[in-house]
Amino acid sequence: MTPRELLAFIREKEIRAVDLRFMDFPGLWQHFTIPVQAMNEHIFEDGLGIDGSSIRGWQAINESDMLVVPVPETAFIDPFARDRTLTMICNIQDPLTKEDYTRDPRNVARKAVNYMKSTGIADTANFGPEVEFFIFDEVRFDQTPSSGYYYLDSVEGAWNTGRQEGPNLGYKVRTKEGYSPCPPTDALHDLRSEMMLTMIECGLKVERHHHEVATGGQGEIDMSYGSLVEMADNVLKYKYIVKNVARKNNKTATFMPKPLFMDNGSGMHVHTSLWKDGKNLFAGSGYAGLSETGLHAIGGLLRHAPALCGITNPTTNSYKRLVPGYEAPINLAYSRRNRSAAIRIPVYSPHWRSKRLEFRLPDASSNPYLALAAMLMAMLDGIKNKINPGEPLDKDIYDLKPEELETVPKTPASLDEALNNLRKDHEFLLQGDVFTSDVIDTWIWYKREKEVDAIRLRPHPYEFALYFDI
C-alpha cells in the first residue's frame, strides 16, 4: 500500500486518529497518536519527532531528537480503540543524517535480511514462531526495601481444587496435563477463539489455537509463517491482541517465560527455512530429509547457541524455564521429532516445501526483531563456514545415562552466563554491519545493570525459608 493509497483508505474507513508504534530496545511497543487531520504524505518521507532519550536503551539527553517514520504496508485498524484508529508500525531515523537508527530493533532485522541477500546464499528467510502465554484471573506483586512477593491466580489452577468458589465446579487443569483437554476443563477456549478471530481481523494468518501443557491458563495460538520482518511485526501484533482481549474480559495475559513454579514455562519455538529462487534450501536427502545447507544451518545455530541465548532468552526469568523436566531444551543437540532437543526437524509432512528447522530455545520475552535476526545470522555463519552439527541425538535426552549426558553441551544456566557468552562470541552478528558493536555493548550493559544486577542485589522470598533461622 502506497502512502496515497493509505490516505484514501483512511478517508474510506472514516478513521479519526492514527496511532504510530515503534519498538524500544529491550522489546516493548511504544506509541503516540495524532489526529487524522495531521496525517499527510509528507509524514512518510519526513517523519515525526520524538524524544529518544526517554526510550529504554536509546539516546543520551543531549542528543535526544529522533524521527519516527511510518511504514504504510503495516497499517491495521486497532480493534480496541474507542474511536476508529489506524495503527502503523514505524522505523526510526536520525533527524540530522536521515540514516536509519542503529539501535532501532526493526532496522537490525531489515539489515539482517539485506545481508542475507548480499551473500547470495538465500533470498528469503521464513520464520514461524509458536508463541505461548499464560492467562490469569489475578496478579499481584510488589518489591520494597523490606518486602517482596508475587501472587497469581487462575480459575483453572490445579491449586484451586479445594477453594470455596460458591460453587467450585471442579474441572481444574492438573499440573503438566493441560495439552489439550476440551471444555469445561479448558475454561479459556472461548477467550482464545476471540483472540484468534481478532488476530485475523487485524491481518494475521492463524492456523489453530489450543490449551498448552501447564495448569493455570497456558495457551498457544499458531500463526502461519512469513518473512523475517513481517513475522517480527506480527509477533508484536499477536502480543498486543492477546493482552488486550484478556484485559477486555477482566483477565490478564503474560508472556513471562516461567511464572509458575513446578510446571511448564512458555517458549517461543521458531520454525525457520531459507529459500532461493523459489527453492527450499533446507530440503534434501540427508538426515531427516535435510540438505547439507540445512545441516550447516543447524551447525551455526548450535555453535552460537550459548551466545544467542543472550538475545533469544533475554530475561533472568528465561532461565527458570530452561531447566530439566519441563519439556524445555537445556541440551544443545538436534533431532527429528524429539522435542527435548534444542533443534527439532518436524516430520509432519515429507513435502520439500515443508522442510524446516524448529529452534526451541527462544521465549517470547525476547525482542522478536533481534531474536529472529540473530538466528538468521547464526544460520548464515553455519552455511558460509560449513559448520558440522555433529551426530543427531534421537534418544530421550532426559533418560540418558549421566556419562552420556556429560558429553552433550548445555544451554547457559543464567542470563549472566548467556551475556558472558554473547560478549565472547558475537563476531558473526557484526557481519554486514547488522548488529553493530554499539548495539551489542548497549544490550549487554542494559541487561546487566537493569536486570541481572537488579535481581542479584535483592533478597529472594524463598531465601527467608532457607536461611532466616541461621
CA distance linking residue 15 with residue 35, whole number of Å: 9
End-to-end CA distance of the chain: 67
Enzyme catalytic residues: 51, 130, 132, 212, 220, 269, 339, 358, 360
Nearest C-alpha neighbor of 420 from the set 429, 411, 412: 412
The bridge status of strand 17-23 relative to strand 85-93 is: parallel
Q: Which amino acid is at 413?
A: A
What is the residue-wise DSSP string for 26-89?
SS-EEEEEEEGGG--TTHHHH-EEEEGGGSTT---GGG-EEEEEE-GGG-EE-SS-SS-EEEEE
Cα–Cα distances (Å) from 88 to 23, 71, 75, 376, in that order, read: 12, 6, 4, 25
C-alpha cell at 277: 529462487
Task: Indicate the length of the chain as a whole number.
Answer: 470
C-alpha cell at 76: 491495521
22 alpha carbon, distance to own chain's centre: 16
Degrees, nearest 5: CA angle 367-372-375? 125
Amino acid at 375: M
Candidates 178, 170, 10, 189; CA nearest to 84 is: 10
Hey, how many other C-beta atoms are within 10 angstroms of the C-beta on 123?
A: 15
